[in-house]
Structure 1
Amino acid sequence: MINSKSVAARSAMSSRTVVDALRRDAMFIWNVLISAVFVAFAALAVASALIDLISIRH
């Protein structure tokens, strides 16, 4: 027999699991965005250095 207490406990654990999964997904996306910003700045620095080298040669 299923009582309401076990259903409520299972539902709470299920929603907690969902919230934990969403939190992990949000942190993963945040880390990807931060990494993309750092990569973009590094690419800009390399491009700037290359443009400086090209302009010095000419």
Structure 2
Amino acid sequence: MHLRWYTRLSGLHESRNDLAMLIGSVFLWIKGGGYWSVDFIRFTSTVKRSNPS
């Protein structure tokens, strides 16, 4: 009984770290700076459409 309980607690503890890294990666992908971020692609595509020179 105790071994199953500790195994589940250990699994939850490890998955918490994975979930935090996933959420942090998604945040940096959406909000982060640089050429690979979503906001850079979104804002440069609107600038190109509004200024066709």
Q: What percentage of aligned pairs have identical amino acids?
A: 8
> Is the helix fraction higher in 1 or 2?
1
For this pair of structures, how many residues does the alignment match? 48
With normalisation by structure 2, the TM-score equals: 0.64
Residue type at the aligned position of 2:7: T
Q: CA RMSD in A?
A: 2.0
**Structure 2 unaligned spans of 5+:** 32-36
Q: Which runs of 4+ in 1 moved over 4 A?
A: none
With normalisation by structure 1, the TM-score equals: 0.60
**Could you tell me how far apart the structure 2 residues matched to 1:56 and 1:23 are?**
51
**Which protein, 1 or 2, shows the higher relative CO under an 8 Å CA cutoff with sep ≥ 6?**
2
Structure index of larger Rg: 1
